[in-house]
Amino acid sequence: MQALRYARPSSVEEAVALLEQGGSGARVLAGGTDVIVQARERRRDINLFVDIKALPEAMSITYDPDQGLTIGAAAPCYQIARHEAVRSHYPCLVDSASLIGGIAIQGRASLGGNLCNASPAADGIPSLIVLAAEAGIAGPGGRRTLPVEDFCTGPGTNALAPGEFLVSLRLPPPHPDSGAAFQRFIPRGEMDIAVANAASQLRFDDGRVRWARVAIGAVAPTPLLVADAAQALVGDPLSDVTIAAAAAAARADARPIEDMRGSIKQRKHLAAVLTERSLRAAADRARGV
Amino acid sequence: MVTADKKHRVVGTRPIRHDGTDKVTGRAAYGADLRLPDMLIGRVKRSPLAHARIKRIDASKALALPGVQAVITSADLPNPADRVVPFGEGSSDLKDLARNVLAADKVLYEGHAVAAVCATDAHIAEDALDLIEVEYEPLPVVLDVREAMLPAAPILHDGLRTKEVGGEKGDQPSNVASHLQLKLGDTEAGFREADLVIEREFETKMVHQGYVEPQNGAAFWNRDGRLEIWTSTQGSFVARDQIAALLDLPVSKVRVTPMEIGGGFGGKIPVYLEPLAALLSRKTGKPVKMTMTRDEVFRATGPTSGTYIRVKIGAKQDGAIVAAQAYLAFEAGAFPGSPVWAASRCVFTAYDVPHQLIDGYDVVVNKPKVAAYRAPGAPTAAFAAESVIDELAQRLEMDPLDLRIKNAAKQGSRRADGATHGVIGNDEVLLAAQDSPHYRSELQGENRGRGVAHGFWFNIGLESSASASVNADGTVSLVLGSTDIGGTRVSIAMQLAETLGIAAEDVAPQVVDTDSVGFTFVTGGSRTAFAGGWAAYEVGMDLRRQLIERAAKIWEVQPEQVEYADDGVLRGPPGDDGAPRAITFRDLAAKLPKTGGMVVGRADVNPKTSGPTFATHIVDVEVDPDTGKVQILRYTAVQDAGTAIHPAYVEGQMQGGAAQGVGWALNEEYRYDDQGRMENPTFLDYRMPTALDLPMIETIIVEVPNPGHPYGVRGVGEVPIVPPLAAVAAAIHDATGVRFNTLPISPAAILDKLLPDGD
Amino acid sequence: MTDPIVIGATINGEATQFLASERDSLLEALRDRVGLIGTKEGCNNGNCGACTVILDGRIVCSCLVMAPEVAGSTITTIEGIATADALHPIQQAFLQDAALQCGICTPGFIVAAKALLDQNSAPTEDDVRLWLAGNLCRCTGYDKIVQAVLHAAANMRG
Amino acid sequence: MARVFIPSLMRDLCHGGSQVEVQGDTLRQVLDNLNTLCPGIKRRILEDGEIRPEFSLAVNGVEESMGLLEPVPDGAEVHILPALSGGARP
């Protein structure tokens, strides 16, 4: 572990001040499952951990039928996956939160941290994108929000300005005739980084897809919102044909690299397969199956 | 379990291991757990390049860091003599061992040690690594075994010439360290007799043993010139001998205390950190402890070879195999010494084949020097040979086990190395597999397949020592030199208990340092329960003789009149009252102090082999054609154990070997970029099976007692990793119709074959 | 070098204060500062589970927790699983079922299994395998470990 | 008499023969006598009076553990094998 200091601010303002003073060497510590490894392996130059787990706003999970869901950026995955309202209204988030790492990782890792780490293969981000989540950010200039699909700017980089940090994630209330689901592929049963992943949300109106969102991961520098896939679905009843078209759109948008976790051919293929699987699962959920 | 006649009281039962409580409560002390007063922490500076000349090492900045106590480089190692050091399964020239421990003029793989530093705490030692400056002149790298064999390949060792085993050395520098050949009969004539000949090429990648405990070593070089070492090693004596040779010390100056060991599988026989800790201790006068990170374990310890293998087998229409030929090229890593020797002697050894020709090549590449890994060489050789046999069975429309049974080697069958098989359980294992509930069950469902494969391993014998003292409370303290990786304290203690006719719980085994017991070879080669148990048996016989004498003395009769029965009761002729005299071991023990004192038994044994053994594995898989994912649905391992001393630990060896083999087959591999930098040195990306990736592993223990052991024991630890690679490949073929001749058969590899090109 | 800091936490039921560096992970602090060596290091990046401890009721990899984070927390390590006079039923089952070979992963498995049985007294084989998927064992093939946890659960149910 | 099986890569020293019958009660005597029939073969097998680390010698299929002192019964088969370890043994 490189030489570093630890701070535990008790207010958002204090956290912002610490981050601002600390400059590029200051990093937010939430669950720590990525950032502690990065500091230990000296992959990032870190000299200050700003632990935000004492900030109630960063730890709470609240649901309101009108306002939707607000998740503190540091709330651990196991709390999200167990939360009653999340389980009944956002099962797609449960998919993600219970697939990140193993049980011990889920005891610490947060969806906020998963987003900020900005891994192309992050298992939380496609779900947040299709659920139209917004990032709630605090910084020296005050508060702002940003659509999650605009948050990641490249592998390991995000849209946060110096001194800013992610405080919470806000998700709109789900439409009654909608369903969403997340799928990923890993070589083992657990403890792997996604070779590819995909999430979908579908809203039906009178048997037809009224609105759709599809996002894929691990196939581009950032998780991708696949606009063409939604286009292929909206306006028609969901069918093998429209699903295949959406899957083809996902495959077409995928521009993966070849690395130790997967080949280009495999990843493009999986983008389609997982898109299809997530669409079918989302449709089942919309129908209440 | 297929059992032999059972007349044992302790052997074959399942007592709780003596060291168990310490290991389930966290009290057992492994190497990293050692704490000594005033102890310093050491770390190793490693090469980021896979092949380079070292131009300069400058440690001055590191030495200036407060808390840093010393830095060493290869200049601190004595100049190694040109000789070979005693070793386990795998060996090293002393010069190579020294160069591997600390690079001298060249680094030969990424992670190669170039310097070591010690400091007052671990954080400072880590900070100091960045302050050691090393200037390199990069050299071209060669990573693939076949490329390394080409005449134009970059040369790792300018002085290396190909040794034709049994012949002369070549006259040009080469990466091919040696070539060996085994020949039986006339393969050309044999293949002419065949109705069907199949020849295939196979490739496997370098894989790691994957023990969960990283290497460690601590040293204190006392001012009286004696060196104390604490380490998690598979062989304290073999470690001592390596350390003494590397540091040019008499062995009597080195004492190795074996700590508990968190897995080894062959990888913890060579020394890495111990000599560095010793040199740092000599420089500072303080004890120094070193541990590796997981990254260092992957990059800089001894995995096993990546291979290129070609196998050609010819059979008659009735399935009789008439000729077999193999070409085996094994990566040795940066220094000579791959297990191609053992692979050559195993590849066709389960079968009675009249005409065989086997060529083996030991090849250096810019990767870490390989070490032993569970049945070294045999798994990849069996992957190739068994895959061809599976295809033969398919083409001949024969049951794959019928084909193997038809050709199974028997007592007297001649092997490729020229020797003949002794009493073996080959047929018995194959027949038990064929008769197993798993093999007789029907496999149903889409995308599912079943595979079987068979394997052979020699097992080794060699030296073990033990001593035991009888306590007045009727227990026995047993002193051993074999480190206990998987329950050998209990299995050895059980054999002493059996010999003395007492309970396993009444024997207290402990593993001691190299000054406290006679020479004992490594825990490896499937030898420990075998040879250690044999030593314990001889200790027991020694105690029996002494106890008979004592009883005779007490009863005032001749020793020849006293019998020591297997139930632990000594019986003598009737006394004055006419009643037969009898005394239990426990009662006699209580009388020892006042009838002449306590008794101590001791023994050393040096058997030649621990009895070859065979295993057949059966596996059912399901392949997801959309993702290429393979799920293991059912798995059965069948194996000849000779006599299973503690059946639960025999089953554990079978299950553990099967699990490692499944990992090797499906996902495990060293991945390098083209500069020789390892891309996946973590447990995240070096994908060993998790609990979710395996089903329960059914076991069938066959017992064909080894006539060369007092209790019929055969080695059991290694052979279970021999069949799984080929068995999984055969099952995937059965499920998909595609033969995969390259490992690992990862989802990417499967999709690549199943999807149309351009998908 | 920064000065060590004092951290207070309840460890295995006892209020404990220890000195640690701000650079220490919880794993390092437990082993090197508190002297609880039963928690093992296998990979130091959260991929093997050998360092599993229970932190405020949840299992975590102690290598992925910074020592200063645990101020005021409650921690259970392998040393806190047995009582003064008896092994925990999971420990007993590991011995009975020969669920350990080298033993280096055993503390992590037992701590993780305890957390599972604390919240699910009747897990299925699949539940156990999923829960323990973050704990690597290279010796056993998991068979006897999974059996031991199932047996312990049955014994605890009585 | 013992029957020594000659490895293919040493047959050049034995006029191409694959088996040679020689006298000897120990491996040392067998190798000495073999060397008179196949001059130079001892130098290939031994180094400094010891069996080279890359070999092991087997008598009736069982590898020796006493080096050149290993007894050779009458009628035994002696095989020159590549050592399993590919190098030194104790």
What's the one-letter identity of residue A177? D
- Going by pLDDT thresholds of 50, 70 and 90, the confidence category of residue D84 is low
Q: What is the mean pLDDT of residues B93-98?
A: 91
Contact B691 C102 (CB under 8 A): no
Q: How many CB pairs under 8 A join A and B?
A: 62
Strand B40-46 relative to strand B288-291: parallel, antiparallel, unpaired?
parallel
Q: Map tokens 């991929």 to a residue.
A: C47
E strands in chain C: 5-11, 14-20, 52-55, 58-61, 74-76
pLDDT tens by residue, B522-575: 888 888 899 999 999 999 999 999 999 999 999 999 999 999 999 999 999 998
Residue C106 has pLDDT above 60, yes or no: yes
Q: What is the mean pLDDT of residues C95-118?
A: 98
Q: Map tokens 């293919």 to a residue.
A: D8
Neighbours of chain A (3+ CB pairs under 8 A): B, C
Residue B343 has pLDDT above 90, yes or no: yes
Q: What is the mean pLDDT of residues B371-375?
A: 95
Within its chain, how far is the Cα of B121 from the centroid?
34
Contact A190 B628 (CB under 8 A): no
Q: With contacts defined as CB-CB under 8 Å, which chain B residues touch D79?
A: 417-419
Residues in chain A: 289
Contact B91 D64 (CB under 8 A): no
Residue B76 has pLDDT above 70, yes or no: yes
Q: What is the mean pLDDT of residues D74-84?
A: 84
Q: With contacts defined as CB-CB under 8 Å, which chain C residues touch B688?
A: 136, 138
| Averaged pLDDT of chain B | 95
User: Quick check: B194 and B314 in contact, CB under 8 A?
Assistant: yes
- Mark which residues 621-650 of B lie under 8 Å from A by CB: 626-629
Residue D61 has pLDDT above 80, yes or no: no
Lowest mean pLDDT among B179-193, B676-690, C122-136, D2-16: D2-16
User: Quick check: B700 and B433 in contact, CB under 8 A?
Assistant: yes
pLDDT of residue D63: 76
CA distance B207 to chain A (A): 15
Residue D86 has pLDDT above 50, yes or no: no
CA distance B15 to chain C (A): 8
Q: What are phi and psi of A186, to 5 degrees?
A: -135, 155
Residues in chain B: 759
Rounded CA-CA distance D4/D76 in Å is: 8
Rounded CA-CA distance C96/C117 in Å is: 18
Exposure class string for C86-95: b at 16+ Cβ within 10 A, else e: ebbbbbbbbb
Query: CB-CB: which of A3, A102, A190 is closest to C23?
Result: A3
Residue B359 has pLDDT above 60, yes or no: yes
pLDDT tens by residue, B388-403: 999 999 999 999 999 9
Query: Is B747 exposed, middle or buried (CB count within 10 Å of its CB: 0-12, 13-18, 19+)?
Result: buried
Q: With contacts defined as CB-CB under 8 Å, which chain A residues touch B627?
A: 185, 270, 273
Rounded CA-CA distance A135/A6 in Å is: 25
Q: Digits of tens for pLDDT over chain A (289 positions)?
A: 888 999 999 999 999 999 999 999 999 999 999 999 999 988 888 999 999 999 999 999 999 999 999 999 999 999 999 999 999 999 999 999 999 999 999 999 999 999 999 999 999 999 999 999 999 999 999 999 999 999 999 999 999 999 999 999 999 999 999 999 999 999 999 889 999 999 999 999 999 999 999 999 999 999 999 999 999 999 999 999 999 999 999 999 999 999 989 999 999 999 999 999 999 999 999 998 7
- Going by pLDDT thresholds of 50, 70 and 90, the confidence category of residue B92 is low
Contact B671 A195 (CB under 8 A): no
User: Quick check: B350 and B694 in contact, CB under 8 A?
Assistant: no
- Going by pLDDT thresholds of 50, 70 and 90, the confidence category of residue B91 is low
CB count in 10 Å sphere of residue B225: 10
pLDDT of residue A42: 84
- Going by pLDDT thresholds of 50, 70 and 90, the confidence category of residue B366 is very high
Query: CB-CB: which of D12, D79, D83 is closest to B418?
Result: D79
pLDDT of residue B87: 57
CB count in 10 Å sphere of residue A176: 9
Q: With contacts defined as CB-CB under 8 Å, which chain A residues touch B746?
A: 187
Our answer on whether D and A touch (3+ beta-carbon pairs < 8 Å) is no
Rounded CA-CA distance B160/C21 in Å is: 50
Cα distances (Å, whole numbers) of residue C83 to A108, A283, C12, C30, C91: 28, 51, 10, 20, 11
pLDDT of residue D88: 30
Query: CB-CB: which of C2, C64, C69 is closest to A51?
Result: C69
Q: With contacts defined as CB-CB under 8 Å, which chain B residues touch D9?
A: 164-167, 180-181
Strand C14-20 relative to strand C5-11: parallel, antiparallel, unpaired?
antiparallel
Q: What is the mean pLDDT of residues B62-80?
A: 95
Neighbours of chain B (3+ CB pairs under 8 A): A, C, D
Q: How many CB pairs under 8 A join B and D?
A: 115
Contact B26 C28 (CB under 8 A): no
Q: What is the mean pLDDT of residues B468-483?
A: 96
Contact A192 B684 (CB under 8 A): yes
Contact B692 C133 (CB under 8 A): yes
Interface test with B, best of A37, A47, A100, A266 (most B CBs within 10 A): A266
CA distance B248 to chain D (A): 18
Query: Is D49 exposed, middle or buried (CB count within 10 Å of its CB: 0-12, 13-18, 19+)?
Result: exposed
Reported ipTM: the value is: 0.95
Q: With contacts defined as CB-CB under 8 Å, which chain B residues touch D60?
A: 420
Contact A265 B689 (CB under 8 A): no
pLDDT tens by residue, B502-519: 999 999 999 999 999 999
Strand B697-702 relative to strand A208-217: parallel, antiparallel, unpaired?
unpaired
pLDDT of residue B58: 98
pLDDT of residue D87: 34
Rounded CA-CA distance A86/A96 in Å is: 12
- Per residue, the 3-state secondary structure of B207-224, as one string, reads ECCCCCCCCEEEEEECCC
Contact B294 C95 (CB under 8 A): no
Interface test with A, best of C24, C66, C138 (most A CBs within 10 A): C66
Preceding peptide of D90 cis, ω within 30°: no
pLDDT of residue A68: 97
For B76, the 3-state DSSP assignment is helix
Q: Can you give the pTM of this predicted structure?
A: 0.96
pLDDT tens by residue, B590-636: 999 999 999 999 999 988 777 899 999 999 999 999 999 999 999 99
pLDDT of residue B166: 66
Rounded CA-CA distance B41/A121 in Å is: 37
Rounded CA-CA distance D49/D39 in Å is: 16
Q: How many CB pairs under 8 A join A and C?
A: 88
Q: Rounded to the nearest 10 degrees, what angle do helices B488-500 and B533-555 cross at?
A: 30
Query: CB-CB: which of A41, A104, A190 is closest to C112?
Result: A104
pLDDT of residue B611: 84
Q: Does B687 touch chain A (CB under 8 A)?
A: yes
CB count in 10 Å sphere of residue B503: 17
Rounded CA-CA distance B433/A276 in Å is: 42
Query: Is A17 exposed, middle or buried (CB count within 10 Å of its CB: 0-12, 13-18, 19+)?
Result: middle
pLDDT tens by residue, C8-61: 999 999 999 999 999 999 999 999 999 999 999 999 999 999 999 999 999 999
